[in-house]
């Protein structure tokens, strides 16, 4: 028997990222996954194993929305987010919507409007804001450790790019717009959060430098998009998606509020994987050296005329309790449960900021597909919440 106050949780897109919802399955402790939707029957069988035989399962997400549920995780491929989130909000559910919020700016604004209409409430799964290392960088920057922020750069090395993004639905722009949006939404959001400023204008270059010319799988064969360390070097690989019309390297420059300038570099054929954020202010420079929970955060704030490998200060990320994505997943799900049950109303990740990350990803993609022409970022349709704090 469910306790009366226990939140009933549904999951749409229960395979892959949908497993994040397992952090919300706390029978007897306030929340329980009671319904799962996925188009893959094997995934639904695995969900019944995980959540119990009484779990409601369906391949039709509208059927799931018709169930008696308080909150819904939407973890389907990006191009489905808009329609499913709008419907879930209209049905009065509290929604955990995976990033990116949608694959167009208009799509995001539709989701924001559905949330503003007052049915359900919206939370977007920007879990990087919940990583101990990113949280600590935010605390240090806000405390003035590097003075007033003027430059923000992110270099994103993605060794698993060829396995994760060029073998299945991710590889087609109709499903994602492109990887500046699909993958970049995280980084662009962190750039905005760390600097406390949104991007106003963007210019970008990008191309399909490596994966475009490699052997594709037959369209009838199932997609195999799993990390495989033996898949090296990239030009020796095969089995890629029949259609690839996205880029595998991108270079973006950002004009931001308060005269801040940003740069974002994304590469999908590197040997190692890391996001490196470098923030330069009027009194120093801060940088994460690696992005695992125990990676050092380095601060240089003493003037010299040569490179110093050893920084002036070394900090560590805030405590996490383990789990995937640098310990972020249990933390973000806990905050979502607090939000869904009404214990909190202000959240660390916000729908407005999520929409701004998508807007920059979309406009940067537009720029790179048009010879690098600068693009203005459409402002938020309404002033709302406290998006940058």
How far apart CA 95 and CA 59 sit, in angstroms, is 19
CB 253 within 8 A of CB 375: no
Position among 120, 125, 327, 361 found at the interface with ligand NAD (CB under 6 A): 125
- 214 touches ligand NAD (CB under 6 A): no
Torsion angles phi and psi, residue 121, rounded to 5: -115, 150
How far apart CA 193 and CA 354 sit, in angstroms, is 11
Of 91, 105, 97, 111, residue with least CA distance to 17: 97
Position among 31, 34, 43, 177 found at the interface with ligand NAD (CB under 6 A): 43
Nearer to ligand NAD, 15 or 206 (CB): 15
Q: How far is the CB of 150 from ligand NAD (least distance, A)?
A: 29
How far apart CA 239 and CA 53 sit, in angstroms, is 37
Strand, coil or helix: what is 389?
coil
- 38 touches ligand NAD (CB under 6 A): yes
CB 82 within 8 A of CB 111: yes
- 16 touches ligand NAD (CB under 6 A): yes
H or E element that contains 51:
helix 41-51
All residues at 6 or more sequence positions from 171 whose CB lies less than 8 Å from its CB, including other chains: 165, 240, 241, 243, 244, 245, 246
Please give the size of the binding site for ligand NAD, defined by CB under 6 A: 23
| Binding span for ligand NAD by CB under 6 A among 47-55, 74-82, 301-309, 360-368 | 74-82
Position among 37, 194, 246, 252 found at the interface with ligand NAD (CB under 6 A): 37
CB 150 within 8 A of CB 280: yes
| Tokens of residue 87, six digits | 């419907």
CB 133 within 8 A of CB 326: yes
Nearer to ligand NAD, 99 or 135 (CB): 99
Q: How far is the CB of 346 from ligand NAD (least distance, A)?
A: 21
| Binding span for ligand NAD by CB under 6 A among 16-24, 198-206, 232-240, 364-372 | 16-24
Position among 36, 72, 94, 98 found at the interface with ligand NAD (CB under 6 A): 98
Position among 23, 93, 99, 173 found at the interface with ligand NAD (CB under 6 A): 99
H or E element that contains 176:
helix 173-176
Chain residues 267-326 in contact with ligand NAD, contact rule CB under 6 A? 325
Position among 7, 8, 11, 15 found at the interface with ligand NAD (CB under 6 A): 15
Nearer to ligand NAD, 18 or 284 (CB): 18
Could you list the residues that contact ligand NAD (CB under 6 A)?
12-13, 15-18, 37-40, 43, 61, 75-78, 80, 98-99, 125, 127, 182, 325
């Amino acid at each position: 028997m469910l306790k009366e106050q226990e939140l009933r949780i549904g999951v749409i897109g229960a395979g892959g990222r949908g497993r994040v919802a397992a952090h919300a399955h706390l029978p007897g402790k306030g929340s329980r996954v009671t319904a799962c939707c996925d188009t893959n029957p094997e995934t639904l069988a695995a969900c019944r194993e995980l959540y119990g035989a009484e779990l409601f399962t369906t391949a039709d997400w509208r059927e799931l929305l018709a169930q008696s549920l308080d909150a819904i995780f939407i973890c389907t491929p990006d191009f489905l987010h808009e329609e499913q989130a709008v419907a879930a909000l209209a049905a009065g559910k509290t929604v955990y919507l995976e990033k990116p919020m949608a694959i167009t700016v208009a799509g995001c604004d539709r989701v924001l409007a559905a949330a503003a209409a007052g049915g359900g409430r919206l939370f977007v799964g920007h879990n990087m804001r919940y990583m101990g290392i990113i949280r600590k960088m935010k605390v240090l920057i806000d405390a003035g450790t590097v003075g007033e922020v003027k430059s923000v750069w992110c270099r994103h090395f993605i060794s698993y790019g060829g396995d994760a993004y060029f073998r299945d639905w991710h590889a087609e722009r109709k499903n994602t717009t492109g990887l500046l949006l699909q993958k970049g939404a995280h980084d662009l959001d962190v750039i905005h959060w760390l600097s406390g400023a949104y991007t106003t204008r963007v210019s970008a270059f990008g191309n399909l430098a490596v994966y475009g010319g490699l052997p594709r799988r037959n369209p009838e064969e199932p997609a195999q998009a799993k990390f495989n360390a033996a898949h090296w070097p990239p030009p020796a690989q095969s089995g890629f998606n029949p259609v690839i019309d996205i880029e595998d390297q991108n270079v973006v420059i950002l004009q931001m509020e308060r005269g801040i300038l940003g740069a974002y570099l994304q590469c999908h054929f590197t040997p190692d994987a890391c996001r490196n954020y470098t923030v330069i202010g009027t009194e120093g420079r801060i940088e994460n050296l690696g992005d695992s929970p125990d990676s050092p955060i380095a601060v240089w704030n003493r003037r010299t005329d040569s490179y110093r490998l050893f920084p002036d200060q070394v900090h560590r990320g805030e405590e996490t309790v383990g789990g995937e994505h640098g310990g972020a997943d249990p933390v973000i799900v806990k905050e979502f449960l607090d939000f869904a049950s009404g214990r909190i109303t202000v959240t660390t990740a916000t729908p407005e900021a999520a929409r701004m990350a998508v807007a920059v990803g979309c406009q940067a993609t537009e720029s790179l597909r048009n010879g690098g022409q600068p693009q203005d970022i459409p402002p938020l349709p309404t002033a709302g919440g406290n998006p940058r704090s």
